[in-house]
Amino acid sequence: MTTTQTRDAQHERRITTALFAAGLTTFASMYSAQALLPSISAAFGATPAHAALAVSLTTGFLALASVPASALSSRIGRTKVMIGSAVAAAGIGLLLPLSPSLGVLLAGRALQGIALAGVLAVAMAYLGEEIGGAGVGAAMGTYVAGTTVGGLAGRLIPAFTLTLASWRWAEAVAAVAAAACTVWFIRGLPPSRGFVARPAGIRTVLGDLAKQLRHRGLFALFGLAFVLMGGFVSIYNYLGYRLIGAPFGLPEALAGLVFVLYLAGTAASAVAGRLADRIGRQQVLAASVGLMAIGLAVTVPDHLGTVILGVLLYTAGFFGAHTAASTWVSVIAEGNRGAASSLYLFAYYLGSALVGGAAGIAYARGGWLGLAGGIGILLILAGMLVWALAIHSSGSARHSGVVGA
């Protein structure tokens, strides 16, 4: 290996390590409230659907801010936007436990979502620019693995703290952990090598977005992001309510241990990234969506063992699908990769906000069976989108003379 190759390899390792830390801090911040939803309901006398806004508003405003954050990063640099956003999100998180009312808490969570957009909407574009095509799947898998560990920590840390203190202390401990990961991320993030500044005027931004939306393959991937994330966040938003209620009756802290199942996503995302490089993104995506459908069906019976197994399978399938889809976006995006990744994130978190909030209505009216029925419809739509992607991929391969996804 030459000196240049060694330096490139070290640069790529620094990137993947730093973005692993970015995944930790952003997802720990984003989902720290999810494990606390029953406690927030009790503290403020709120319904499950109202309390779930502590998650939906964060992801909804993150979705709205993802495109502007990406445009800003195209002008001033990827690393500057990611670092500034991570610091802002961590600072807001440290203030959330002081919220005097549910309204103030929800407003703070919305602001935190705007700040988080500057990391999440830019990370995919940064990876695509800095790491060669042969290794981008594995790198994306490592990044997504970081998000799963962050999501797990953001849920488990508050759940454990609830055994000793109130939701405020639980949120505070999670915020301190996220702030520590932010320091790790900032210290480890290397400067960009592949970034080329682009003008960020409104015409340029709209032109870049329109170009990505006209790409049929990307459009299908954006649709997948919406339906898959919407169903996934709905499962975890209302799982705690199911487990502490009849017939399970688990203590709230014990019910929070179900988030350990996020480790299935950590493993699945890393494996899916490598498999996407080896056997093709299309095959990994189809298999992952199928695994989600099987897992959803297994959660329906009122038996704790099947519920846990079903959520485990659903989680592994979701993160496998997300890794394959996000890698695919980075590879096939034309022109401004930041525009493509921001649209993917916009759809992803819009699905979380809209479907995750609306699912509370389905859960209130039909219980877990009603919720599972709604998510099942989303998975049918996902299957149709995977089929459309297969057709598009086949047509593109024939047109270019290339075989495979």
pLDDT tens for residues 77-104?
Answer: 888 999 999 999 999 999 999 999 999 9
Q: Can you give the pLDDT at residue 405?
A: 29
Q: Can you give the pLDDT at residue 223?
A: 95
Q: Can you give the pLDDT at residue 121?
A: 78
| For residue 287, pLDDT beyond 80 | yes
Band of the pLDDT at 400, cuts 50, 70, 90? very low
pLDDT-wise least confident of 8-12, 131-135, 186-190: 131-135
pLDDT-wise least confident of 120-124, 300-304, 382-386: 120-124
CA distances from residue 120 to 23, 64, 115, 379, 386 in whole angstroms, order as listed: 8, 12, 10, 24, 24
| For residue 167, pLDDT beyond 70 | yes
Q: Can you give the pLDDT at residue 399?
A: 46
Higher pLDDT, 310 or 343: 310
Higher pLDDT, 128 or 245: 245
Band of the pLDDT at 192, cuts 50, 70, 90? confident
**Which pLDDT tens digit goes with each residue over 352-379?**
888 988 898 899 899 999 999 999 999 9
Spatial separation of the C-alpha atoms in residues 158 and 175, rounded to whole Å: 10
Band of the pLDDT at 177, cuts 50, 70, 90? very high
pLDDT-wise least confident of 188-202, 204-218, 382-396: 188-202
| For residue 404, pLDDT beyond 50 | no
Q: Can you give the pLDDT at residue 178?
A: 94
| For residue 1, pLDDT beyond 90 | no
Band of the pLDDT at 133, cuts 50, 70, 90? low
pLDDT-wise least confident of 140-149, 243-252, 322-331, 381-390: 140-149
Q: Can you give the pLDDT at residue 326?
A: 83
Higher pLDDT, 70 or 402: 70
Measured at the alpha carbon of residue 169, what is the angle toward residues 165 and 170, in degrees to the nearest 5? 85
As a whole-number percent, the residues of the chain with pLDDT over 70 amount to 90
pTM for the predicted model, two decimal places: 0.76
Q: Which amino acid is at 90?
A: A
CA distances from residue 43 to 46, 94, 309 in whole angstroms, order as listed: 8, 19, 31
Higher pLDDT, 57 or 74: 57
Pair of tokens at residue 87 = 């610091």
Q: Which amino acid is at 49?
A: A
Question: How large is the average pLDDT for residues 256-278?
Answer: 80
**Which pLDDT tens digit goes with each residue over 208-236?**
777 877 888 889 999 999 999 999 989 98
Q: Can you give the pLDDT at residue 402?
A: 32
